[in-house]
Structure 1
């Protein structure tokens, strides 16, 4: 069985050449857009023109993937912060002592530089 693309659901043509005062003019549907990027399935760069309605499923999948990546990064950051917080709770006195020693060393170094 042969498969063909149906007409535009908006009742237009994506691109159509018409004569305007005996000059050919290209009329382009505002929904006919160019999308550039990388095909995540093949890794190839894409640069193609299609109807925005046809791009919707692809772009929605891409948006979902990017949201998932952002959520994973936030979760990773949260886990790192929770681990640091737990470590700080276990040895609060030692960390404060180490920070005080660092501050003392800096102050001594600054005093040496000033004199």
Structure 2
């Protein structure tokens, strides 16, 4: 069963939606973040907010995972650098400081 909400506008005292005469009436094209079905539909920007919020949350989770992965790689690289420096020091190798020219 498909439930169709009434098209009463909360921005216009719950009068019937003016659709294309309203600046808030827009077309959305993409994928539904819950069902992964293709969307190409017109509707009120206010009514699109729940779907867009879900999509935003999914993108934030993906970004968080990418940042965590990058952090883990940086930790490994830093540990390797520390090990190289410790081994160089234990073998009596001198580390040189590279001086940069100020321009």
TM-score bracket, normalised by the shorter chain, equals 0.5 to 0.7
- 2:46 corresponding residue in structure 1: 53
1:43 is the counterpart of 2:39: no
- The reply to whether residue 68 of structure 1 matches residue 61 of structure 2 is yes
TM-score, normalised relative to structure 1 = 0.60
CA distance in 2 between counterparts of 1:54 and 1:38 reads 16
Distance 2:5 2:30 in 1: 27
Aligned length: 81
Question: Relative to 1, partners in 2 of residues 1:40 and 1:57: Cα closer, same or farther, differing over 3 Å?
Answer: closer
> Which structure 1 residue ranges, 4+ long, deviate > 4 Å from structure 2?
none
Runs of at least 5 residues in structure 2 that lack an aligned partner in the other structure: 89-103
Bigger radius of gyration, 1 or 2?
1
Q: Quote the Cα distance in structure 2 between the aligned partners of 1:32 and 1:59.
A: 15
User: Matches of residues 93-108 of structure 1 in structure 2 within 5 Å?
Assistant: 93=88
The alignment's TM-score, normalised by the length of structure 2, stands at 0.67
Q: More strand by proportion, 1 or 2?
A: 1
* CA positional deviation for 1:4: 5.2
The RMSD of aligned alpha carbons is 2.2
